[in-house]
Amino acid sequence: MKASELLKPANREEAALLDKLDVKRLPRHVAVIMDGNGRWAQKRHLPRVAGHRAGVKTARTVIETCSHLRISCLTLYAFSMENWRRPQAEVDFLMRLLREYLKRELPEIHKNNVRLLVIGRPEQLPEGVRADIQDAMKLTARNTGLTLIVALNYGGRAELVDAFNAMLDNARKNCLSAFSADEQAISEHLYTAGLPDPDLLIRTSGEMRVSNFLLWQIAYAEIYVTETLWPDFSRPRLLEAFLDFQKRERRYGGLSSAKGRAVSAAAGKASQESED
């Protein structure tokens, strides 16, 4: 199946990019650090909130694109624990914007068979936001298409702290005399338990850091950084990220297939010579 059969191109640029895309080699899980809203607004002499509103439109495009291309999971870094340090007026606006987005977009999200999950520490969010999130997750819980994970009041270090505390609580409840943890046990206690780790991490605005995002889960993710600011991250820019991903050879610490065969052949030849 061609990508253009899953996603109708809106223009020639999209059509050309879709023709190059191999739907069998798309990432299973895409994670995005949505950065650059404030700079986008500043460049246009607009208030920061204008950048956040523009960023919501980009998020809609990215969600729709991933859904049509049958990506399994999409994680968006919406609000970090560090974001509480921003001016109170901006934080209040972001919370209102989230509620507006859910009210406006949830029917379409549900119609498109998207399942919504929110990860982070929800207990610190305003009561109205918590209620809207719970309603949205309950409504979409049985959907089987794209899983949309929104990281809200999220921090990667906090997630690991919460995972270890949960494991310790279990050990105490079960009266275990000794406690030990392995990678599987830690993964099972993360906010993302049961979900695949990201294959591709996209960061907009050109910053070369992961900003405390999915620190455990992105251990083997391919990282794609673009200078494009988030509100300008259009569908073609997302398709370019997918094409770049498909050029990568994921080795997970091993050798590429060609190098592996060469090393094996050399080792076999050396062994034969030693026997002779």
Q: What is the mean pLDDT of residues 21-32?
A: 97
Given a cut of 70, whether residue 269 has pLDDT beyond it is no
When pLDDT is cut at 50, 70 and 90, the band that residue 180 belongs to is confident
Take residue 270 and report the two structure tokens written for it: 């050396």
Q: How confident is the model at residue 175 (pLDDT cuts 50, 70, 90)?
A: confident
Q: What is the dihedral of CA 69, 73, 74, 80, to 10 degrees?
A: 180
Residue 275: pLDDT over 60: no
Given a cut of 90, whether residue 250 has pLDDT beyond it is no
- The predicted model gives 2-25 an average pLDDT of 96
Percent of all residues in the chain with a pLDDT value above 90, rounded to a whole number: 85
Q: Is the pLDDT of residue 164 over 80?
A: yes
Question: Tens digit of pLDDT for each residue in 74-130?
Answer: 999 999 999 999 999 999 999 999 999 999 999 999 999 999 999 999 999 999 999
d(CA 67, CA 188): 26
| Cα–Cα distance list, 92 to 88, 89, 103, 123 (Å) | 6, 5, 17, 16
- Taking the CA atoms of residue 235, residue 110, residue 150 and residue 197 in that order, the dihedral angle to the nearest 10 degrees is -80
* Claim: this prediction has a pTM higher than 0.95: no
| Residue located via tokens 């498109």 | 112
Q: What is the pLDDT of residues 59-73, one digit of tens each?
A: 999 999 999 999 999
Higher pLDDT, 266 or 57: 57
Segment 218-242 shows an average pLDDT of 98
> Distance (Å, rounded) from C-alpha 52 to C-alpha 181?
40
d(CA 194, CA 108): 25
CB burial of residue 243 (10 Å; 0-12, 13-18, 19+): middle
- Check pLDDT > 80 for residue 268: no
Contact assessment for residue 81 and residue 155, using Cβ atoms and an 8 Å cutoff = yes
Note the pLDDT of residue 273. Answer: 58
For position 274, what pLDDT does the model report? 53
The Cα–Cα gap between 172 and 170 comes to 5
Closest by alpha carbon to 59, among 127, 142, 148, 165? 148
Residues 6+ apart with CB under 8 A from 209: 203
Q: If one looks up domain 26-275 in CATH, what number appears? A: 3.40.1180.10
Instruction: Write down the pLDDT at residue 71.
Output: 98
Supply the pLDDT for residue 262: 54
Q: Which residues pair with 203 in a beta bridge?
A: 33, 225
Q: Specify the pLDDT at position 255.
A: 67
Which of 34, 76, 54, 61 has the alpha carbon at shortest distance from 231? 54
Is 153 part of the annotated catalytic residue set?
no
Sign of the C-alpha dihedral computed for residues 156, 159, 165 and 167 taken in this order = negative
Domain ranges of the chain: 26-275
Catalytic: which of 11, 19, 35, 244?
35
The reported pLDDT for the residue numbered 253 is 73
Does 83 participate in catalysis according to the annotation? yes
- Single out the catalytic residue among 22, 83, 113, 170: 83
Taking residues 142-164, report their average pLDDT: 98
- Tell me the average pLDDT of the chain: 93
Query: Strands across the sheet with 115-119, in order?
Result: 115-119, 147-154, 73-80, 29-33, 200-203, 222-225
Q: Phi and psi (nearest 5°) for 52?
A: -65, -40
